[in-house]
Amino acid sequence: MAETRLLLVDDETHFRSPLKKRLQKRGFTVFEAGNGDECQALMEKEPVDVVVLDVKMPGMSGIEVLAWIREHFVKTEVILLTGHASAADGVEGIKRGAFDYLTKPVEFDHLVQKINQALEKRRREEEKKHEAEFKARMEQQMVATERLASLGTLSTGIAHEIDNPLAIIKECAEYMRLLIGKTDAPAMPRKKDFENAIGKIETAIDRARRITHQLLGFVRQPETVFAETDLKVLISETVEFVNKEAQNKKVEVSQDVENAKGIIWSDPYAIRQVLINLITNALAAVASGGKITVSVRETDAFAEISVADNGTGIPKENLEKIFEPFFTTKPPGKGTGLGLYVTSGIVGRIGGKIDVSSRVGKGTIFQVTLPRTREACMVMGDNKDMCLDILDMIKGDQQND
């Protein structure tokens, strides 16, 4: 246990000083105060664990000091020292929140025992608090996970059901377009208006279809196929792929892969998909003249791909929500709110994890960590089991090759 800080508060120096020396010999760090004011000043500078407090002092009484400590230092335990004839003071003190009281003259071992008991109580309370916090955090996490899962199931169900009526609407629109577009059709009044309206229907259908396809695509992906994957090649291909868009926006996309070998056994298609999603997101986040850096860092246990931008950044209150389905800050029709949801799903499927850190106005970094060893899987949080399964599978594959 770390050092224990004691504070002796007593107006009698000849009582205080020898007690301090004896307590120091027992390994405690001891401070002294001659009255209530000194005690307050000392505690305000540095908190202590246990206060041994004389009840009868000139100026502020011990009971008053106790009330002040209870008000300002909830965690500090107080042991009261009372005169032989005034046990009532001690009882009063306990009622007001002291840990216990001892009557003067104090037997030294008895005092040490009390101090240790007070410390023990403090430790237990802290443990309980930690436990409660941990439990609350876990529960919160579980609720979030469950909510995501059921949301996923529900939305894919809906997506499926919507595709069929969507197909009918699309057919109707196509049919109408065909009819009014016929060269031999009689001149139609307000033909332009109709064409315009049909165009709007078609755009809306495409928008709805993008949503349903993204949703369904996430749930039932084609089977993951693992192979020797060259991250450097994948990154340069992907950067090439988005380069035109980047140039139009005058954004520089650079690669920092020189120090990495970048070979990992994984699913290249999945990684490519993840890279495309993350880089496209970064492109949307940076202004003209912005900068995006894709880098690879690796150890024997991990390969870590980062996509960093110097764009708008993500406000703290949104950071936790960005991986949820349908969360988007874009105007309707511009974003489905599925990109990062799908991306994190893909990363999970290949046994990795995705992290984000961001500062508003400075930029955002997404990190995808892919494990190479069993030890690395252990820190994958929710994806741990999946990660281990995948490693086992990979080993099987490699032996078969």
Binding another protein (rule: CB under 8 A), the pick from 25, 84, 95, 182 is 182
Does 27 contact another protein by CB under 8 A?
no
In sequence order, the 6+-apart residues with CB closer than 8 A to the CB of 130 are: none
What is the C-alpha end-to-end distance of the chain, expressed in Å?
Answer: 54
Dihedral angle computed from the Cα positions of residues 319, 325, 330 and 334, in that order, rounded to the nearest 10 degrees:
150
- Nearest C-alpha neighbor of 369 from the set 384, 344, 386, 352: 352
- Judged by CB, which is closer to another protein: 217, or 337? 217
Segment contacting another protein by CB under 8 A, of 79-87, 136-144, 145-153, 176-184: 176-184
Beta bridge pairs of residue 359: 363
CB of 197 to another protein, least distance (A): 17
Shortest spacing between CB 202 and another protein, in angstroms = 10
Q: How far is CA 71 from CA 40, 96, 172, 215, in A?
A: 12, 11, 74, 54
Q: Which of 142, 143, 158, 179 binds another protein (CB under 8 A)?
A: 179
Specify whether the CB–CB gap between 294 and 256 falls below 8 A: yes
Q: Based on CB atoms, which residue is closest to another protein, 60 or 205?
A: 205
Closest approach of another protein to the CB of residue 174, in Å = 4
Minimum CB–partner distance for residue 179 and another protein (Å): 7
Is the distance from CB of 220 to CB of 257 less than 8 angstroms? no
- Residue 249 binds another protein, judged by CB under 8 A: no
CB neighbours (10 Å) of residue 58?
9
Per CB under 8 A, which region of 28-36, 96-104, 165-173, 233-241 contacts another protein? Answer: 165-173
**Interface with another protein by CB under 8 A: which range of 23-31, 219-227, 267-275, 385-393?**
219-227
Q: Which of 213, 297, 321, 384 binds another protein (CB under 8 A)?
A: 213
Nearest to another protein of 71, 184 (CB atom)? 184
Q: Does 104 bind another protein (CB under 8 A)?
A: no
Q: By CB under 8 A, is residue 349 in contact with another protein?
A: no
Task: List, as one string, the DSSP characters of 354-396.
Answer: EEEEEETTTEEEEEEEEE-SHHHHTTSGGGHHHHHHHHHHHHH
Q: Is 336 in the site for another protein (CB under 8 A)?
A: no
Compute the least distance from the CB of residue 182 to another protein, in Å: 8
Q: Which of 67, 169, 319, 365 binds another protein (CB under 8 A)?
A: 169
How many positions of this chain bind another protein (CB under 8 A)?
Answer: 27
Q: Is residue 279 within 8 Å of 242, Cβ to Cβ?
A: yes
Applying CB under 8 A, does 304 fall inside the site for another protein? no
Nearer CB in complex with another protein: 57/159: 159
Q: Is 172 in the site for another protein (CB under 8 A)?
A: yes
Is beta strand 77-82 parallel, antiparallel or unpaired with respect to 100-103? parallel
Residue for token digits 């996970």? 145
Q: Is 178 in the site for another protein (CB under 8 A)?
A: yes
Instruction: Decide: is 155 part of the binding site for another protein (CB under 8 A).
Output: no
CB closer to another protein out of 20 and 209: 209
- Counting Cβ atoms within 10 Å, is residue 238 exposed (0-12), middle (13-18) or buried (19+)? buried
The binder of another protein chosen from 26, 70, 104, 209 (CB under 8 A): 209
Take residue 113 and report the two structure tokens written for it.
């025992």
d(C-alpha 336, C-alpha 211), whole Å = 6
Which residue from 152, 217, 335, 348 is in contact with another protein, where contact means CB under 8 A? 217
Structure tokens at 73: 């230092």
Torsion of CA 19, 25, 29, 34, to 10 degrees: 20
Q: What is the contact surface with another protein in residues (CB under 8 A)?
A: 156, 159-160, 163-164, 166-172, 174-175, 178-179, 182, 205, 209, 212-213, 216-217, 219-220, 222-223
